[in-house]
Structure 1
């Protein structure tokens, strides 16, 4: 069963304000690459202005495990 997972980054507009649009746009792209390369997810869609990343997975995920994996990967990256 294919699932879609939504990631939203809290305070992303503030981060853009602090570091600038250009820098954060590049950071956003690198974050997506990092998440998808370190996990079993593929990028489904991303909306930079809405700070949303949609990932797909072909298997039924364990929600707790999924949450931990994503939080860990994002924390390590940032």
Structure 2
């Protein structure tokens, strides 16, 4: 199994931080994704974020669903 890259870890951590900042649980994220027409199961979302393996489209869908309008990437 391929290892998670630093970039994948950064993307996953960034998304998890935004979820935490907005106070959104994985279950709530699934509901919010459904509201914008994206059907995911909570287990699938947990797996994607724990592995750091998801598409840029999924990343943008999640950010949109939780109402993130701007993002400070802060890659140092």
TM-score with structure 1 length normalisation?
A: 0.34
User: Which structure: greater strand fraction?
Assistant: 1
TM-score with structure 2 length normalisation?
A: 0.34
User: Which structure: greater helix fraction?
Assistant: 2
Bigger Rg, structure 1 or 2: 1
